[in-house]
Amino acid sequence: MSLRLYSHPLSSFCQKVLVALYENDTPFEPHLVDFADETSSAQLKRMWPVGRIPVLRDEAKDRTIPESSIIIEYLAQHYPGGTQFVPADPDLARQTRLRDRFYDLCVNVPMQKVVTDRLRPTGQHDPYGVEQAKTQLRTAFAMIDQEMGTKTWAMGDDFSMADCAAAPALFYASMVLPFGDEHRRAAAYLARLKERPSFARALREAAPYLSQVPK
């Protein structure tokens, strides 16, 4: 098998890539990264010194590809399938990338800030930063709610890279800061994402680990 994904089923950015892989039934071998294990972390850092997951290794082409959006673009280019993650039209492609950035930077990253602050040792918390992150999330939820009033997926009728980004980001963000009562259209979008077979599969695989998410 040519593709190996260094990842963890609980990681939101890894789930984003898993959705893309499952969308097109792309064969790959998952390699579980355990940050608590020095050998596992060191192996990851040898490939990508930044030490973040996901990282895709393509043995056939001798390439190592980090960063979830770049991995999805790589899959779209070299292992295309029925779901086209970035439209061919340059304007639509730019809009897709903008929404992908939005879900990564305005939903996933602030969600991570809230969750990882709970893992910090006593006395090392960052309440100001967490409040800022929650404010960013509230702004993002209102924008998503407005935008999803007339659309099925982030770009309209077609599932794209932006939906791969949105699915785990919104799933975990809804755990951190429930938005369903106030933002029903955003909640309906999340419900559609959870029913999408690719994300439903990623969620099933994450289920045994979900109790590790700090409350």
Ligand X SMILES: N[C@@H](CCC(=O)N[C@@H](CS)C(=O)NCC(=O)O)C(=O)O
Residue 58 near ligand X by CB under 6 A:
no
Residue 53 near ligand X by CB under 6 A:
yes
Residue 13 near ligand X by CB under 6 A:
yes
Annotate each residue in 89-118 with x if it binds ligand X (CB under 6 A) or - if it does not, as one string: ---------------x--------------
Count of residues near ligand X by CB under 6 A? 10
Taken in order 43, 48, 52, 55, the sign of the CA dihedral is negative
| Contact residue for ligand X among 5, 9, 11, 21 (CB under 6 A) | 11
Gap between the Cα atoms of 179 and 169, Å rounded: 13
| Contact residue for ligand X among 52, 57, 99, 196 (CB under 6 A) | 52
Distance, C-alpha 139 to centroid of its chain:
19
Which of 13, 74 has the CB closer to ligand X? 13
Chain positions 161 to 200 lying near ligand X, rule: CB under 6 A, are: none
Which of 68, 174 has the CB closer to ligand X? 68
Task: Report in angstroms how near the CB of residue 51 gets to ligand X at its nearest.
Answer: 5
Terminal CA-CA length for the chain: 38
Which of 23, 104 has the CB closer to ligand X? 104
Taken in order 70, 45, 111, 170, the sign of the CA dihedral is positive
Gap between the Cα atoms of 203 and 195, Å rounded: 10
Task: Report in angstroms how near the CB of residue 16 gets to ligand X at its nearest.
Answer: 7
Task: Report in angstroms how near the CB of residue 63 gets to ligand X at its nearest.
Answer: 16
- Strands 29-32 and 55-58, bridge-based pairing: unpaired
Residue type, 45: K
Tell me if 117 sits within 8 A of 126, measured CB to CB. yes
Residue 48 CB neighbours (<10 A): 17
Chain positions 64 to 83 lying near ligand X, rule: CB under 6 A, are: 67-68
Task: Report in angstroms how near the CB of residue 201 gets to ligand X at its nearest.
Answer: 18
Residue 160 near ligand X by CB under 6 A:
no
Helices and strands in the chain, H and E counts: 9, 4
Q: Is the peptide bond before 54 cis (omega within 30 degrees of 0)?
A: yes
Task: Report in angstroms how near the CB of residue 122 gets to ligand X at its nearest.
Answer: 20
DSSP 8-state secondary structure symbol assigned to residue 154: T
Site for ligand X, rule CB under 6 A: 11-13, 51-54, 67-68, 104
